[in-house]
Structure 1
Amino acid sequence: MNVDRFQSGEISGELVNSGGDIAFKPDPLPPEIRLEDELLDVFTEAATNVGQLSGVGRRVENPSMLISPFIYKEAVVSSEIEGTRVTLSDVYEYEAGRENSSSGASRNELREVHNYVRAVFQGIEELENGIDLELVRNLHNTLMSGVRGGDKKPGEFRDTQVYIGGRGGEARFVPSPPSVVPYAMQNLETYIRTGGSYQPLIDIGLVHYQFETIHPFRDGNGRMGRLLIMLMMCNDELLPEPYLYPSSYFNRNRDEYTDRLLAVSRDSAWKEWLIFFLKGISQQAKEAFSRASELLDLRDEYRDRYQDGANSVSQLSTEIFTKPYLTVNEAEDALGMTYRTANNAVKQLEEDGVLEEITGQSRNRVFRAREVFDIIQKPVDELSYR
């Protein structure tokens, strides 16, 4: 780590010895932030866009209709940042029981993304008592169990020094010594649970920096930190459900993301980090609103088309938004009807072009809701509500 570079600026912590290496120990939150000028403008826009996204939930009787596709999208991109190459199609096919992925992704890579999905749903279910260290450790255990990094004590704060971008003197950044981690995380927990010091969106940006800088686990800190953004937005009642998927922005701006985090540590560049962070929240809220609106319009189109048809077909045309890849057995479970009834409903939607069979097999068939999936995957510049 370039110690001279840290010593030349107004650092937001202190340099400490860690077994012969120089590590960075961040100051506890909060720093002094002035919500003015460009930061105020960006914050106002982000708050407006998040509020608009929150309102989309009023059009949804079943929240999982939007939660599920957005969580899966977030899981894929968050894992991609860590080097996992899995497509959204791969994950849905994997969960529908298809043995081999379309892109050639390994089962271990698919399991990583599946773990992320499980961790988000687990976090939402356990948010009733707020965010604390027990929840963070439990979710980290879910994220890392049985996958790459699963041998590095999932769910336990690290007991060894870690390095970012190399080792020892070659590292770009050396997080806090392991002896500091429990106390730093206790301070962070207190800050979260006492409601922070600023507007919730500002505090979420501060907490994300602090978590990534402490780097409390031996592996999986990036995924856990991005998951916390989603949970804090729900915990702070900014969103009723995890409709926002922040990893897409961080992935598009990966170099600037790491540079901005490092600049806070080196130069106390809090304002610049928060502007970058809030722009991301704003962009992703707009994108999620557009995608949600298109999905809801399609839902309304299917509802009108099948309102006078068989109940099984009408119901299945809604279920496919939650599960755009499914088998007849899964349709049977979703509908709570007989296999024959479910099979007939799938056949009807296939004939209408709503579902398409993707395996080419006569047995163990998997069906995809093409129009639903196309909206989930559509490039941002093709969304109609922009």
Structure 2
Amino acid sequence: MIIFTGSGCPACGANPGERINDKALADIREIINYREALNVAVDALKARRLDAALACDLHRILLAGSRGMDREPGCIRTVQNFIGRDARIEHAIFVPPAPENVPRALADWEAYLYREGKDTLVQLSVLIAQFELIRPFCDGNGRIGRMLVPLILYEKELTASPMFSISAYLERHRPAYYERLLAVSRERDWNGWIAFFLRAIEEQAEENGRKTKAILDLYTEMKQTVPEVTRSQYAAATIDAIFGTPIFDTSGFYDLSAIPKESGAKILRDLEESDTIQLVQKGRGRNASIYVFPHLVAITEGNWL
């Protein structure tokens, strides 16, 4: 039985004592997958360049146990896909390249990725549009495409870490997002897409600045709250762990914090009783319990204003 306790979870919208539905669990799984894929990417980029092969590796992680997991995750498609209102290709709104043309299209994409551009943000906007229009996978192209934004910024040394995401902006402006991409395909309107994308970068950067301040304020608050709640010598390690991974399972918490299991279990109980963290899924058998640090998720997911 999956029970959520507390005052409501901003990650999935569950209310106190309410059974979390499958959609909410799927959303949480996607968040966990995204973080795992991002960590894998950071490690990989220490030894190799970002390319289509790495995108395949990340795609496999993103779709694990999630939407599209039965659609050949990590594999370049060998069938024709399309975007439409029904399952008939003749009604399609957009038809990407035929499968036999995808490897060449990705090779061209990589060549442009490695090119030194005069304006890296303009280059980034073109790269993301190209990838979205190639649609190299059977499913999950949007998810991997949006992950490429922070990774490209990171690889080109415009950010110190790959944490800059514009997914929230694109979600809020989804109709314009799709329309601008379709305009590139239909009318070669690159200027319209680039203007939209650069506006997304600018507005998301401003929002991220506000979120950063809110996170710092929360961190200051937790430096007082967690020691009071836990009365533990491991309070500092606990704070770093839940800020580092705000949705986590018990085994991950022990590993990340390096806190002995017995002490860690008591800390988690204390934090749950004080509503500092909330139970998402109770462990059973070999499956560890999953918790969320809702105050941080509320900030990062945009429900904090």
| TM-score higher than 0.5 | yes
CA distance in 2, matches of 1:227, 1:169: 31
* Paired residue type of 2:210: S
TM-score, normalised by the number of residues in structure 2: 0.78
CA distance in 2, matches of 1:359, 1:171: 39
Are the counterparts in 1 of residues 121 and 198 from structure 2 also a CA contact under 8 Å? yes
Residues 1:141 and 2:60 are matched in the alignment:
yes
Q: Give 1:262's aligned residue.
A: 182
* Paired residue type of 1:88: A
The Cα of 1:248 is off from its aligned counterpart by 1.1
Are the counterparts in 1 of residues 11 and 28 from structure 2 also a CA contact under 8 Å? no
CA distance in 2, matches of 1:360, 1:209: 38
Are residues 118 and 355 of structure 1, via their aligned partners in 2, closer, same or farther at CA, if it must alter by over 3 Å? Answer: same
Are residues 316 and 106 of structure 1, via their aligned partners in 2, closer, same or farther at CA, if it must alter by over 3 Å? Answer: closer
Q: Give 1:324's aligned residue.
A: 246
The Cα of 1:90 is off from its aligned counterpart by 7.8
Q: Give 2:36's aligned residue.
A: 118
Residues 1:220 and 2:140 are matched in the alignment:
yes
The Cα of 1:335 is off from its aligned counterpart by 3.7
Match among 108, 127, 132 for residue 45 of structure 2? 127
Residues 1:379 and 2:274 are matched in the alignment:
no
SS for the counterpart of 2:100 is coil
1:100-119 aligned within 5 A:
102-105=20-23, 110-119=28-37
SS for the counterpart of 1:154 is coil
Unaligned runs of 5+ in 2: 1-8
Are the counterparts in 1 of residues 276 and 294 from structure 2 also a CA contact under 8 Å? yes
1:243-262 aligned within 5 A:
243-262=163-182
CA distance in 2, matches of 1:331, 1:146: 21
Are the counterparts in 2 of residues 246 and 284 from structure 1 also a CA contact under 8 Å? yes
Q: Larger Rg: 1 or 2?
A: 1
SS for the counterpart of 2:77 is coil
Match among 91, 95, 116 for residue 174 of structure 1? 95
CA distance in 2, matches of 1:106, 1:372: 18
Are the counterparts in 2 of residues 313 and 348 from structure 1 also a CA contact under 8 Å? no
Residues 1:188 and 2:112 are matched in the alignment:
no
RMSD (Å), alpha carbons: 3.5
Are the counterparts in 2 of residues 325 and 369 from structure 1 also a CA contact under 8 Å? yes
Residues 1:204 and 2:127 are matched in the alignment:
no
Residue correspondences, number? 286
CA distance in 2, matches of 1:285, 1:248: 11
CA distance in 2, matches of 1:356, 1:330: 15
Q: Give 2:4's aligned residue.
A: none
SS for the counterpart of 1:287 is helix
The Cα of 1:194 is off from its aligned counterpart by 2.7
CA distance in 2, matches of 1:370, 1:146: 23
* Paired residue type of 1:337: I
The Cα of 1:210 is off from its aligned counterpart by 0.8
The superposition leaves residues 207-243 of structure 1 with CA deviations (integer Å, 9 ceiling, x where unpaired) of 0111111122222211111111121011111111122
* Paired residue type of 1:177: A
